Amino acid sequence: MEESLLRVKEIGKHFGGLWAVNRASLDVARGSITALVGPNGSGKTTLFNVIFGLHKPDEGRVYFNGERIDHLAPHQVYAKGIVHAFQIPRLFYRLTVLDNMLLAARGHKGDGLLNSVVFRQGWQAQERELADKALELLNLLELDHLTLSPAGELSGGQRKLLEIGRALMAAPVLLLLDEPAAGVNPNLGRKIFERIELFRQRGLSFFIIEHRLEILFDFADWVYVMDRGKIAIEGKPEEVAKDSTFYKVYLGD
Ligand SMILES: Nc1ncnc2c1ncn2[C@@H]1O[C@H](COP(=O)(O)OP(=O)(O)OP(=O)(O)O)[C@@H](O)[C@H]1O
Ligand SMILES: [Mg+2]
């Protein structure tokens, strides 16, 4: 079997006496859309927070590309290519969609006075490159007609797409998305997942928490179901949907 891109091994994280994540293990295959579902409070977001370095785990290890990352700070995990889309600072509502994209870019050489004055030429070349990239992404996300609109004028679903676009400006290897379709109408929710599928086809990998199972299950390759900090079951969406454990987890004992 091919080595997995992300490997979570026996991760435990507690808050006081509560084990929010309790010896959870899972793998995200390279090039996959892998899903993490489960009832409210089952530990999904806490596990994401451990993966991107916000929380140090109390137990277990996390590997990315075979390398341990569980001791790294969020910016170091980010530098390895794991980007948490909705963790990036919120949108600037008064700036244009394009400016929001440009501000999210990694390794921006225009930062700093010295760069902007002394290396102006190099800065302009890089600025153009970034703008090209931003325009291409906005096109793929079907936001290109809004390039020069203030981000504050976007609908809820369009804002979600823009946040995904901002994460893509960092050229991630693995994108963590915590509820990308939350709070948007079913059509837009599906559209968001269609865009995700498009970027998967272009080589990106996704690890997605989502409560909108009727949409998620049409796109996920593999589903992990979390219950009280543990992975209760895993499988292909159609297998999980047939599993009686899946219903027990959601309905409670
Ligand atoms: N920083 C924290 N301090 C204390 N308890 C926390 C903290 N973060 C999460 N918890 C607790 O850990 C448990 C798991 O929470 P978590 O947010 O990971 O669940 P979730 O599966 O993401 O839920 P939801 O689907 O509602 O987003 C909950 O009981 C929650 O109250
Ligand atoms: Mg959550």
Ranges of each domain in the chain: 1-81+172-253, 93-167
Going by alpha carbons, the residue nearest to atom 26 of ligand 1 is 40
When pLDDT is averaged across residues 140-158 and rounded to a whole number, the result is 95
CATH 3.30.1300.10 is right for the domain spanning 1-81+172-253: no
- pLDDT of 109 > 60? The answer is no
Neighbours of ion ligand 2 (CB under 5 A): 45
Q: Is residue 110's pLDDT more than 60? A: no
- Give the pLDDT score at 104: 86
Structure tokens at 156: 């809820």
Residue 88 pLDDT: 64
Distance CA 34, CA 56 (A): 23
Q: 133 pLDDT exceeds 90? A: yes
Model confidence pTM above 0.75: yes
Alpha-helix runs per DSSP H in 26-155: 44-51, 74-80, 97-103, 113-118, 120-140
Contacts of 120 (CB under 8 A, 6+ apart): none
- Mean pLDDT (the chain) is 91
Give, using CA atoms, the residue closest to atom 7 of ligand 1.
Answer: 15
* Residue 73 CA to ligand 2 centre (angstroms): 21
- Quick one: pLDDT at residue 213? 96
**Which tens digits make up the pLDDT trace of 187-211?**
989 999 999 999 999 999 999 999 9
Q: Is pLDDT above 50 for 123?
A: yes
pLDDT tier, 13 (very low <50, low <70, confident <90, very high otherwise): very high
41 C-beta closer than 6 A to ligand 1: yes
**Structural contact between residues 74 and 53, judged by C-beta atoms closer than 8 angstroms:** yes
Distance of CA 143 from the midpoint of ligand 1 (Å): 33
Q: Which ligand is nearest to the CA of 43?
A: 1
Query: Beta 82-84 vs 174-178: how paired, if at all?
Result: parallel
Q: In angstroms, what CA-CA distances link 37 with 43, 229, 230?
A: 10, 11, 11
